[in-house]
Every structure is written in structure tokens, then in C-alpha cells.
Amino acid sequence: MQVPEATVYQFSAELLDGTPATLEAFRGTVLLIVNTASECGFTPQYAGLENLYQAYKHRGLVVLGFPCNQFGHQEPGSATEIGAFCEKNYGVTFPMFAKVEVNGEDAHPLYKFLKQNKPGALAFLSGGKIRWNFTKFLVDRNGRVVARFGSTTAPKSIAPHIEKLL
């Protein structure tokens, strides 16, 4: 008997409004999973992420935002405040989840899985830890993590990688 390959579809999380959501709902799409923050120097990337989502959603891309307050306490707001900020300032329409931790013992299981599958550059030094807000993981239509991009990677530069998966 063959053991099924682990994918992102085995995970679930709450949306900003508290509704439980399973990543199984996104089966068959290409996912760009991002840890976000509202008070970060990289916060303007919300606009680029929304642009990617609008450009490719009809072809099967879904961007998933996971607010995180672990880096410089740059996501201090409540779920309602985060949602209002994203919508008002960047017109975010892609799914946003409730705040999670991405590193440490209390890291969300999805993020433990993402880091295990794509530990990133210099993983031997960092143990695969996420270094800052707006780290991006690209997941193919089969739920496999295929790439990891750091905070400084502009969303538009990920477009060629997305194109290959669509």
C-alpha cells in the first residue's frame, strides 16, 4: 500500500472573520501563500499580491494571506482592523486568514509544513525559519510546495514562476 504524498490540502485555518477553512477547498489551484503584516516596510507588497491575484485568478491562482505579528510586532491589530486596512489601503480581495505564528513551537502546522518542504536559502544556519514578513511560498495544482521567495522578492517577479504552473 502506497502512502499518499503530504500536501497543503491536509491543513486548515480560520479566515479573518473566524470562519474555519480547509486548504482542500483550493485543490487544483496554484497557491501563493504569504505571511503578511500591516505596519512593515514590505506592506506595499499587498498591492503587488492583489495585482497577481487579479491577473491570474481566472486561470487558477489564489493568493492566501496569513497575518503574523512575530516580526517587530508589525501586525498588532484585530482581525477586523487587519481586514479593513487591507481592503481600504490595497483593495485586497484574496482570502485573508486569522493571525498565525510562522516560527517557533506555536507555529501554525501549515507553516511548519511549508518550511519543511522549502527551508530556504542558508537553511543550514536558520533551520528553515522565516526571516521576516512577506515570505512567499508557491504551491502547484497538486498541493506540493515548489518554491520559496523572501521578503525582498517583489510579487511581480514571481509571475513567470506562476505562469509555468498555470
Q: How many residues does the chain have?
A: 166
Q: What is the DSSP string of 58-126?
A: GGTEEEEEEE--TTTT---S-HHHHHHHHHHHH---S-BBPP---SSTT--HHHHHHHHH---TTHHHH
Residue with cell 486568514: 97
- Please answer whether residues 42 and 74 qualify as being in contact, where contact means their C-beta atoms are separated by less than 8 angstroms: no
Q: Which of 32, 104, 121, 94 lies closest to 68 in space, CA to CA? A: 104
Catalytic residue among 16, 23, 37, 40: 40
The CA angle 112-115-121, to the nearest 5 degrees, is 155
Active site residue 86: no
Residues with catalytic function: 40
